[in-house]
């Protein structure tokens, strides 16, 4: 039985944070677990959101599409075909309406859920705790100037700053490694025919994937003798994994890349999102199954990785 509560139907539509009446952003919650619905509602109200819809996940698949709030939170640790289709529709509607979508799921369902969400820049959380959901709300509410955001802890603030700054620095370094056009300007990140080489117009191949896999194994081996957190470097670990996969001509699922990152899946997804935004990674849809998607190096990033291995001489060790 679908459990649905409504508060002020007229407030359910997304308005992108520019409400003419000065009302705070509205939130729709879809979750099957009653205690989770209660926690989400409590935290959302504490953050200054208006909770306008609270329902179980089945409400997304039944009847006419419901009006969206400014923010939509969905909890779906397991998904069936109907729910995946509903998520895909919700993703498109959120993108069209400018609504912010937060979806929590499990590792087992991550690839399916990720494949459905490619339009709205949804935040995906994997087996999150309550604090991680609040942080996700914080990301969203930063886009609503009038929202009252719960004060982030110093650790949370430093984590978000570190992620954004580090990805920006990586993108800058790769930009400097990129080949130049005849006029001296760097080629655009998405250019599919960017030259691979230390000289303009030449191509430097990616290293032997056996070498890259050996480096990855050596990095993982440290965790057997030391606290793995001492060496946490998810961006580099993902770059290595995608470099090996590109050289092997294999595809990498988002779940596999999260595992390769060496950090919790929700953290890995934040890194992946930042790397995609900076043009270092690209999302590649599965042409055989539109519900699936993979992550790959951008051409520009692959060029930089080839140059790195060539410059360091590591490629000669294969």
Burial bucket for residue 10 (CB in 10 Å: 0-12, 13-18, 19+)? exposed
Count the neighbouring beta carbons within 10 Å of the beta carbon of residue 272: 24
b/e for 21-30, b at 16 or more Cβ within 10 A? eeebbbbbbb
The per-residue pLDDT for range 164-179, each reduced to its tens digit, is: 555 555 555 555 555 5
Q: Is 5 left (phi over 0), alpha (psi -120 to 50) or beta?
A: beta
pLDDT of residue 166: 54
191 pLDDT above the threshold of 50: no
What's the mean pLDDT in 35-39? 94
Mean pLDDT of 93-114: 94
State the pLDDT at residue 299: 92
CATH topology of domain 4-141: Rossmann fold (3.40.50)
Is the per-residue pLDDT at 80 higher than 80? yes
CATH 1.10.10.10 fits 154-317, yes or no: yes
Distance CA 239, CA 275 (A): 10
Distance between CA 254 and CA 97 in Å, rounded?
26
Mean pLDDT to the nearest integer, 308-313: 84
Where exactly are the structural domains of the chain? 4-141, 154-317
Average the pLDDT over 104-109 and give the result.
96
Q: How much of the chain, in percent, has pLDDT values that exceed 90? A: 47
Look at residue 149 in the predicted model and tell me its pLDDT. Answer: 43
Q: Give the chain as a DSSP string.
A: ---EEES-GGG-S--TT--TT-PPPEEEEE-S-HHHHHHHHHHHHHTT-EEEEEE-GGGGTSSSPPPP-SEEEEE-SS--HHHHHHHHHHHHHHHHHT-EEEEEE-TTTHHHHHHH--SS--EEEES--HHHHHHHHHHHHTT-TTS-PPPPPHHHHHHHHHHHHHHHHHHHHHHHHSPBPTTSPBPPTT-TT---SSSTT--PPPPPHHHHHHHHHHHHHGGGTS-GGGG--HHHHHHHHHHHHHHHT--EEHHHHHHHHTS-HHHHHHHHHHHHHTTSEEEEE-SS-TT-EEEEE-HHHHHHHHHHHHHHTGGGG-
pLDDT at 127 over 80: yes
- Cβ–Cβ < 8 Å for 54, 37: yes
Residue tagged 């519900």 (tokens)? 291
* Residue 246: φ, ψ to 5°: -65, -40
Q: Of 44-48, 96-100, 155-159, which gets the smallest average pLDDT?
A: 155-159
What CA–CA distance (Å, rounded) separates 293 from 286?
A: 5
pLDDT at residue 243, as a whole number: 96
What's the chain's length in residues? Answer: 318
Residue 232: CB atoms within 10 Å: 14
Q: How far apart are the first and last CA of the chain?
A: 60
Check if the beta carbon of residue 27 is closer than 8 Å to that of residue 71: yes
Q: What is the mean pLDDT of residues 3-16?
A: 38
Q: Which residue has the higher pLDDT, 158 or 55?
A: 55
Asked if 169 and 279 count as a contact pair (C-beta separation under 8 A), the reply is: no
pLDDT higher than 80, residue 118:
yes
pLDDT at 204: 72
What is the tens place of the pLDDT at every residue in 228-277? 778 888 999 999 999 999 999 999 999 999 999 999 999 999 999 989 99
Residues 6+ apart with CB under 8 A from 110: 124, 126, 254, 255, 258, 265
């Amino acid at each position: 039985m679908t459990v649905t509560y409504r508060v002020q139907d007229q407030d359910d539509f997304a308005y992108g944070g520019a409400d003419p009446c000065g009302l705070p952003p509205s939130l729709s919650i879809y979750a099957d677990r009653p205690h989770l619905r209660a926690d989400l509602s409590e935290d959302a109200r504490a953050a200054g959101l208006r909770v306008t819809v609270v329902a179980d996940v089945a409400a997304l698949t039944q009847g006419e599409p419901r009006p969206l709030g400014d923010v939509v939170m969905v909890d779906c640790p397991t998904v069936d075909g109907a729910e995946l289709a509903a998520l895909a529709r919700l993703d498109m509607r959120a993108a069209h309406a400018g609504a912010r979508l937060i979806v929590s799921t499990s590792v087992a369902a991550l690839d399916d859920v990720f494949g459905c969400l490619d339009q709205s820049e949804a935040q995906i959380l994997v087996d999150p705790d309550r604090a991680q959901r609040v942080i996700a709300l914080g990301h969203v509410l930063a886009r609503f100037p009038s929202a009252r955001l719960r004060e982030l802890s110093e650790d949370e603030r430093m984590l978000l700053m570190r992620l954004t700054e580090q990805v920006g620095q990586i993108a800058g370094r790769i930009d400097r490694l990129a080949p130049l056009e005849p006029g001296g300007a760097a080629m655009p990140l998405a250019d599919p025919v960017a030259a691979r080489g230390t000289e303009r117009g030449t191509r430097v191949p990616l290293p032997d994937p056996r070498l890259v896999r050996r480096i990855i194994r050596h990095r993982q081996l440290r965790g057997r003798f030391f606290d793995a957190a001492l060496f946490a470097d998810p961006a580099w670990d993902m770059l290595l994994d995608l470099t090996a996969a590109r050289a092997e001509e294999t595809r990498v699922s988002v779940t596999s890349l999260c595992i390769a990152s060496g950090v919790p899946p929700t953290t890995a997804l934040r890194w992946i999102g930042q790397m995609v935004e900076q043009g270092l990674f690209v999302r590649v849809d599965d042409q055989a199954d539109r519900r699936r998607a993979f992550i790959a190096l951008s051409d520009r990033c692959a060029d930089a990785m080839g140059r790195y291995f060539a410059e360091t001489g590591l490629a000669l060790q294969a």
